[in-house]
Structures are given as C-alpha cells and as structure tokens.
Amino acid sequence: MSKLVPPHGGKGLVCCKLHGSELTAEQDKAKGLKQIEISARTKGDLIMMGIGAFSPLNGFMGKADWKSVCEKYALADGTFWPIPITFDVSKADADEIKEGDEIALVRDGETYATMKVNEKYTMDESAKKWECEKVFKGKGEESADDKFWEIAMEDHPGVKMVMAQKEVNLAGPVKVLSEGDYPDKYKGVYLTPAETRAIFDERGWKDVAALQLRNPMHRSHEYLAKIAVEVCDGVLIHSLVGNLKPGDIPAEVRVKAIDVLVDKYFVKDNVVQGGYPMDMRYAGPREALLHATFRQNYGVNNMLIGRDHAGVGDFYGLFEAQEIFEEIPSFEPGKGLLCKPLKIDWTFYCYKCDGMASLRTCPHTKEDRVILSGTKLRKALSEGQEIVDHFGREEVLDILRAYYQGLTEKVEVKMQGAASGDTMK
C-alpha cells in the first residue's frame, strides 16, 4: 500500500497517452484528420496530459474552465487549478473545424495527439489582456498599475506568449500519441508520475519534497535540497526540460551539472533527479501553485518555495509565491491542493557564519554575504566575469564555463533587484 499523497483531483492518474494496438489504430486514423500545427507550449502540455502529470485534466480547457481558473483558481467543477491550459488556433483554421470534429495536433512533422473539438471560443485582445492581468500580474514594482503593460509586452515572456496567441481557443479531450524525444534524449532523467511514484514506494518514502529547477544548481539550490532531505524522507530534484526563454541554460547542460553535484555532494539514497517536459510560463506565484499541483501527481507532498519562485524581472514580490498558498480559497475534500509549500527564506553564503544561511538564521550584514541567484550566475558566465567564491561548486562551474565558451551568440541577461541582492536589507 503506497504511503504517498494521492494524485490531484481525486481521479487517480489520468493518463491520456495511448499504447499498443490503440496507439497504432489512432496513429493511422490521425493521417486522415485535419492537421493543426501546434506551438512548443502546446506540445509540452500535451505530453504532461499524456503521462498523467496534469491529472485530472484530459484535454484543453473550455471557456467556463478558462474563466473560472483565472478568477477562482478552480475548474468549473470546483477542482483546484491555478493556470489556464488552453489551445489556440487561427480564425482561418477554426472556421474549417466544427464542434464534434476530430483533428490531429502536429509539430515539426510529428503527430503528438488527436483531439475531439467540443467547443470553440474567441480570444480577442481584451480577453487575452484580462487573462494576463489575472495570471501574470503580481505585487512587484513592474506590476504596478501604471507600469505593467508598459513593461510586460517587452520584458515578460509569459505575457508576450499569451498576447501572441491566435484568435480562437479549441477545447476538448485529447488522445496523446507521442512523448517526443524526451524519453531517449533524457533517458534515466525524464520520468513520468507513475515512475517517480514507483521509485518513492520502493524506497518506502511518504513525505517527499520537490525542488523546482530552471537554472543550474548553485549553492542556494543545494542548501534548499539538503534542508528538504533533513525534514522529509527524500527530495526530487525536478528540472524543466521543456522550452525556456532566450538566455536560459539548456536542459542537457543543467542535467549534467546536477549529475555531478548529486554524485559528489549528496547521499544518493535520499535524492531522485527527474525532468519534466512543460514549458515555463514565468507566472511567479501562480506558477508556484501549478508546480505544486503537478508535483502532487508525481507523488510529492512538499513543494520547496524560496525567493522569487518562477519569477521574471521585478514583476513579483520576493515571497509572493509563498504567500499565495495562504490566499487561495478552500476547496471540498478531494478537490483541493494537497501538496503544501515548504517555505524557505532568502538563502546565501555568509563569510562570518562560515557556511550557508538564511535571513532567519544569519544575524550579519549584506556585506558579509554572497548573494546567490541563477540570473546572477548566468550574467557572470555570459560576460566572462570571475565567479565569486562560494557561489557554486567548482565541478558545476567547470561544466557551465565550457558551455558558455562554446556559444557563438549570447543573449543579454538582465538583472532584477532580487537577483542582484540590491533589495536585501
């Protein structure tokens, strides 16, 4: 009998991926359906539905779900869900599709799913703006009423992604036919919820924490993971292997760096490294809730939430992603979020403490501390700056330096107040 938290939504793992003869038959049928080219984000969402990571979702959201998620953090049936999972098409394509039709969803020549279209609804500019204000607008300086739209269209990748969506959303259940190249490209790291649950059960774990990573693992990440190991049965170091914004470090480089770190600085029996295929939304607090939601499906009941989780620029307050867990409404049994936040204060290396510390444990001044952030590390590496002592493990920095030295084009990395440490008192 598993001791793990049940999957989100009370329906078990809802896996939309077909197998065996069903898969073969659906692949054959897909060849005769209208082909719709999908975005990288939609590809990632389909795979998440395919492997059960988005349980209880079995398809893309209709208008009622979209509106309820934006307004109430819930699907129309009252099940907690924090960010819309929608599928956009052009008006020209939508005009050729009737409700009840089946279509094939393809990207770069590969068919990822078939979909039965139950609903079509228009997303004009005002609807997209409303979604952005509900999902992406935070309490940070750049989200102020007089600044948000002036700054977001240039500097917020999530807002830009939504505003660039096509005119119509299609809703309906999907049958997923492919997981792309993730199982082969990240063999041993790309894990499904069923696979992580089997690993945790085999180890007898009950309380499991997840560390979300989109940046290379520096000393603060390592410290957070080790705090989780101390208070839980084990930790899932869970890297995003889907698409990131320009300038972020590719998944294969981050995975290699984590491998080295786990091998040399962790007790391996207490750590699992995994990867998941979703694209980042950069939605800060709302994305922290999404990270906790799908981690519950992976068997995780504690989500590590530190400073500026899933943030971008200065759109969010430093600990807004922690605070939002206390602000979401209550839900009926079986429909609420069971994965809880493991809240950690701002962490850093302190010379006077002679070790890693946080604002809760270190009584010294900012001048005594090495302020750690993924953005700060990427900027230093991109510009060939010397990396401050105690920022990262040397074995990890060697891998990252080699990556940056091999780049022919570099993207400017912009610093925000939190990443630079300017806002630390």
What tens digit of pLDDT does each residue of 155-181 get? 999 999 999 999 999 999 999 999 999
| The CATH number of domain 188-420, selected from 3.40.1190.20, 3.40.50.620, 3.30.70.100, 1.20.1090.10 | 3.40.50.620
Q: Where are the domains of the chain?
A: 20-182, 188-420
Q: E strands of 27-109, at which residues? A: 34-37, 59-60, 87-89, 102-107
3-state secondary structure of 386: coil
Cβ neighbours of residue 255 under 8 Å, at least 6 residues apart?
186, 189, 239, 241, 273, 275
Catalytic positions are 214-215
Q: Does residue 393 contact residue 221 with C-beta atoms inside 8 Å?
A: no
- CATH no. of 20-182: 3.10.400.10
What tens digit of pLDDT does each residue of 122-151 get? 999 999 999 999 999 999 999 999 999 999
> How would you write 254-280 as a 3-class SS string?
HHHHHHHHHHHHCCHHHEEEEEECCCC
Model pTM score: 0.93
Q: Does residue 362 contact residue 353 with C-beta atoms inside 8 Å?
A: yes
Task: Round to whole Å and give the CA distance between 404 and 163.
Answer: 32
Task: Round to whole Å and give the CA distance between 2 and 299.
Answer: 10
**pLDDT tens, per residue, the chain with 425 residues:** 899 999 999 999 999 999 999 999 999 999 999 999 999 999 999 999 999 999 999 999 999 999 999 999 999 999 999 999 999 999 999 999 999 999 999 999 999 999 999 999 999 999 999 999 999 999 999 999 999 999 999 999 999 999 999 999 999 999 999 999 999 999 999 999 999 999 999 999 999 999 998 877 888 899 999 999 999 999 999 999 887 767 778 888 889 999 999 999 999 999 999 999 999 899 999 999 999 999 999 999 999 999 899 989 999 999 999 999 999 999 999 999 999 999 999 999 999 999 999 999 999 999 999 987 777 787 888 888 888 888 889 999 999 889 888 887 765 656 555 555 566 66
Q: Does residue 28 contact residue 109 with C-beta atoms inside 8 Å?
A: no
